[in-house]
Structure 1
Amino acid sequence: MTRLRPWLSASLLLTAAAAPLVAQGAATAARRQIVPMDSARARQLYVSNRHEDHPEADYARAVSAKAATDSIFAARAKGVLKFSKITYKSQAGGMTIPAYLFEPLAPKGPGQHAAMVWVHGGVHGNMDQNYWPFIREAVERGYAIITPDYRGSTGYGKEHHNAIDYGGMEVDDVESAADVLKALPYVNPARLGVMGWSHGGYITALLLTREAKGSPFKSGAAIVPVTNLLFRLSFKGPSYQRSFSTQPHLTGLPFENRAEYVRRSPYYWVDSLAYPMLVHVATNDEDVNFEEARPLIDALQARQPTLSETKVYVNPTPGPTSVGHTFSRRVNRQTLERDDSPEQVDSWSRVWAFFERTLGK
């Protein structure tokens, strides 16, 4: 038998070993060529990062709805509390921020009252009349309340709407509302709180953690708050992501701008909590799903037990517009009175007790 030269023998062995890999690669390439792109799925998954592609809204309709809310607040407030629609300048670029101010009819005297900033929820949401019974109760308890329609809120036209900066300058807009409260002679500037629901709870949490250094707020309540944008955008998918990726200060998704999304997520700032914070969440929440909310609760209980007060409501009675997400905002939309469930009563009782402890009566 003919003896192969060593170098030829090694070459044949390498060729033989590589043959299956070459065949596999060729088969993979063939499959890629044969299987066409699913264009319908591609359109469904596409998420633009161009600001000009930010979802448009019916601005005229929103302005009309806001005018109706203003008139409802004015009518409901007569003889009950002092109501004003005001504007103030944000510390972020001096942007003009509209807000509602609700005050006691007969304040006790200089520096005798606590006050709070209440923060509405929603990506492009706004403060509306459905908060009325809770605002009235707060003022009856002696609090002055300001509710800002921070940048990105609806009802003020395209420019205000498209200035949205989720977790960015909107947080500065809300913090700046504290200056309005401090200027009220009967308010004690050392007794300021902040409270919000959903996206408003998210802003509240950021103000008490990331922005805690030098914060004007001494305590806050975050109800069903957004907690982790990395998780949330992945969980909600492209239809939700499109309202974020086209914002000028985000410009893309978490995999493209991870550090900024982390910076804007309260979950990653738990160790910076400097003031008492109450957090209530619901297991049947279909907006801020419990899969997102639970890690924040666990982190607060484990790492901030002395500063946090938390409660998980197990399948609370559904609210008017979603299953668990509005469990503590149950309102009869016709009468604008509370539509109490046991969980709503319990949650608000805990909220009022929390603020009495942390801000004083």
Structure 2
Amino acid sequence: MIRIASFLTAVLLLPVLASAVQAQEDGPPNRHRVVMDTARAARLYVSNRPEDHPAADYERAIRGKAVTDSIFAARSAGVMKFSKVTYKSSADGMVIPAYLFEPLNPKGPRAHAAMVWVHGGVHGNMDQNYLPFIKEAVQRGYAIITPDYRGSTGFGKAHHNAIDYGGMEVDDVESAVSVLQALPYVNPERIGVMGWSHGGYITSLLLTREAQGSPFKAGAAIVPVTNLLFRLSFKGPSYQRSFATQAGIGGLPFEKREEYIRRSPYYWVDSLKYPILVHVATNDEDVNFEEARPLIDAFQARQPMLAETKVYVNPTPGPTSVGHTFSRRVNRQTLERDDSPEQIDSWNLTWAFFEKHLGKN
């Protein structure tokens, strides 16, 4: 009876064993064979090769940058001194182009504060839509330099593809200080930094990076990118392709976890050394509040003496965006401020913050 029972058991188990063998041949254990959806696979595929970095219309971007140059030159006349400058990055000597805006009549030697303003965008550039805020800064006595760090558009393919998000671009921006320090009327002890979105992200890194000092005495990070581990998972493959294909990264967060952590301000809150102001919006559709709130909470909990933060709840929608540009609302025709109550409040707080930490001009 025992032999019969054993035989029956073996017979009954044959289909199960065969299935297990087939599963092992087809792939990892306990996985069923599936028909590949090639269209979906193509949408989800993310390369880690620099040659697959998303291309752009480089010539069109160069033409657009020339238009921006002419607008800055024309609108600055009689209002502020405008010039195009270059300097070398401390990272590797790369030449970085920038705009420099100065008061027409400086008070005297070392009498003025100055700031580096950092544009946003994975591949963005400093454009004319920042103009009304630059004018206001200069009228308040600040010298402003706006670097088009590596990866910025309008300077051709090589500059575009040199992008190093959270890497050497941070050194590019910091190196702009050398231009400000060479101005005889700028006090090198009164230099700040400010940025929006990706620029706010760079600002945050400049104030928190370990193992080095900072030439900046204070910084404002408006709607900043905060956590690349979260952000890439939230945005998906089309966004991930702009990161995994960068030569300095070369992969997705699960492949390059430490690299993405190193490049995420959220993980360096405890290293904050200088005062920072951070403003975010709950209806931001770029740096979504799900990403922004943990950084705000961390600064409030662990750096209350250095961090000034404010969450704007559903600020008034602008003509071209919702919350992400709530404090950069501009009439695209007149290039004047398109103020909302939240924009007025954010800038009032920002100017008060810089006057407190950089001194009044």
TM-score (norm. length: structure 1): 0.94
CA distance in 1 between counterparts of 2:197 and 2:210 reads: 18
Compute the displacement of 1:23 (Å): 6.4
- The residue correspondences of 1:65-80 to structure 2 (distance < 5 A) are 65-80=64-79
Distance change >3 Å, CA 104–CA 13, structure 1 → 2: farther
Q: Are the aligned partners of 1:212 and 1:273 in contact in 2 as well (CA < 8 Å)?
A: no
Q: Are the aligned partners of 1:212 and 1:274 in contact in 2 as well (CA < 8 Å)?
A: no
Identical amino acids, percent of aligned pairs: 79
CA distance in 2 between counterparts of 1:310 and 1:3 reads: 77
Give CA deviations for 1:114-165 in whole Å, capped at 9, x if unaligned: 0000000001100000000000000000100000000000001111111100
Amino acid at match of 1:109: G
Q: Which residue, out of 20, 25, 36, partners 1:25?
A: 20
Amino acid at match of 2:17: V
Amino acid at match of 1:102: F
Distance change >3 Å, CA 13–CA 269, structure 1 → 2: farther
Q: Are the aligned partners of 1:212 and 1:275 in contact in 2 as well (CA < 8 Å)?
A: no
Distance change >3 Å, CA 108–CA 257, structure 1 → 2: same
Amino acid at match of 1:22: L
Compute the displacement of 1:318 (Å): 1.6
Q: Are the aligned partners of 1:116 and 1:143 in contact in 2 as well (CA < 8 Å)?
A: yes
Compute the displacement of 1:21 (Å): 5.3
Give CA deviations for 1:74-111 in whole Å, capped at 9, x if unaligned: 00001101110111111011111000000000001001
Distance change >3 Å, CA 27–CA 120, structure 1 → 2: same
CA RMSD of aligned residues (A): 2.1
CA distance in 2 between counterparts of 1:49 and 1:139 reads: 43
Establish whether residue 328 from structure 1 lines up as the match of residue 302 from structure 2. Answer: no
CA distance in 2 between counterparts of 1:311 and 1:303 reads: 16
Consecutive unaligned residues of structure 2, counting only runs of 5 or more, are none
2:56 equivalent in structure 1: 57
CA distance in 1 between counterparts of 2:143 and 2:306 reads: 24
Consecutive unaligned residues of structure 1, counting only runs of 5 or more, are none
Q: Secondary structure in 2 aligned to 1:348?
A: helix
Compute the displacement of 1:320 (Å): 3.5
CA distance in 2 between counterparts of 1:160 and 1:92 reads: 15
CA distance in 1 between counterparts of 2:84 and 2:10 reads: 81
Establish whether residue 306 from structure 1 lines up as the match of residue 305 from structure 2. Answer: yes
Distance change >3 Å, CA 302–CA 18, structure 1 → 2: farther
1:292 equivalent in structure 2: 291
CA distance in 1 between counterparts of 2:118 and 2:211 reads: 17
Establish whether residue 164 from structure 1 lines up as the match of residue 163 from structure 2. Answer: yes
TM-score (norm. length: structure 2): 0.94
Distance change >3 Å, CA 26–CA 182, structure 1 → 2: same
Amino acid at match of 1:295: P
CA distance in 1 between counterparts of 2:77 and 2:298 reads: 44
Give CA deviations for 1:274-326 in whole Å, capped at 9, x if unaligned: 00000000000000000000000000000000100000000101234321100
- The residue correspondences of 1:1-361 to structure 2 (distance < 5 A) are 22=17, 25=20, 32-33=32-33, 35-210=34-209, 213-361=212-360
CA distance in 2 between counterparts of 1:175 and 1:326 reads: 24
Compute the displacement of 1:213 (Å): 3.0
Distance change >3 Å, CA 32–CA 114, structure 1 → 2: same
Q: Are the aligned partners of 1:319 and 1:328 in contact in 2 as well (CA < 8 Å)?
A: no
Stretch of structure 1 that moved more, 242-251 or 19-28: 19-28
Amino acid at match of 1:145: I
Compute the displacement of 1:351 (Å): 0.3
